[in-house]
């Protein structure tokens, strides 16, 4: 892992290596493979942030499954407040399906709560949350997060699909902001 990196006007230090990320994703995939044996779950990956996690997770899923990608339309400047207008991109019939939401990070949980409410109107058999990163101390709502690969402190991070001002998603490791 390299040392301090700069993205735009901020500095970041190495935090979680790609090797550790892959190990944690394998552990989550093993649990999903066991828990959904005999079912054909539909994974709903939330863009943009979850694309790398979703790709690596899917390569480790050994049971029959499907994947689709959704985008949350939020009000400008309030993405972290959980104010979403709609879930865009669901063309599949969710009625009677086991749905697994694949998210890059859950912090307040407000956005996830709204997404689950939105999906509930489509009558799925069950809705499960699978997140790469979870900030437990920032959670504001009661969510059943069954599949969290890594719990992290309440710090700003970048890399492995997560961005700072649209940059840094391409980094294979995760970096934590360095407070100046």
C-alpha span between 34 and 143 (Å, rounded): 22
Catalytic residue numbers read: 107
> Nearest Cα to 155, choosing from 172, 131, 138?
138
The residue written with tokens 């709903």 in the block is 44
First-to-last alpha carbon distance for the chain, in angstroms, is: 21
Query: What is the number of other CB atoms lying within 10 angstroms of the CB of residue 82?
Result: 19
Q: Quick check: 162 and 7 in contact, CB under 8 A?
A: no
């Amino acid at each position: 892992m390299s040392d301090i990196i700069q993205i735009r006007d901020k500095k970041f230090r190495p935090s979680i290596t790609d090797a550790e990320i892959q190990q944690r994703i394998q552990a989550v995939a093993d649990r999903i493979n066991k828990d959904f044996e005999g079912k054909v779950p539909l994974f709903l990956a939330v863009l943009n942030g979850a694309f790398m996690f979703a790709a690596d997770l899917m390569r480790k899923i050994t049971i029959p499954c499907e994947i689709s990608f959704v985008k949350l339309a939020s009000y400008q400047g309030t993405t972290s407040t959980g104010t979403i207008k709609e879930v865009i991109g669901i063309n599949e019939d969710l009625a009677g399906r086991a749905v697994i939401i694949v998210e890059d990070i859950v912090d307040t949980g407000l956005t996830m709560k709204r997404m689950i409410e939105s999906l509930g109107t489509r009558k799925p058999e069950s809705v499960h949350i699978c997140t790469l990163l979870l900030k437990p101390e920032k959670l504001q709502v009661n969510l059943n997060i069954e599949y969290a690969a890594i719990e992290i402190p309440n710090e700003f991070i970048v890399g492995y699909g997560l961005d700072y001002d649209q940059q840094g998603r391409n980094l294979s490791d995760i970096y934590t902001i360095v407070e100046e």
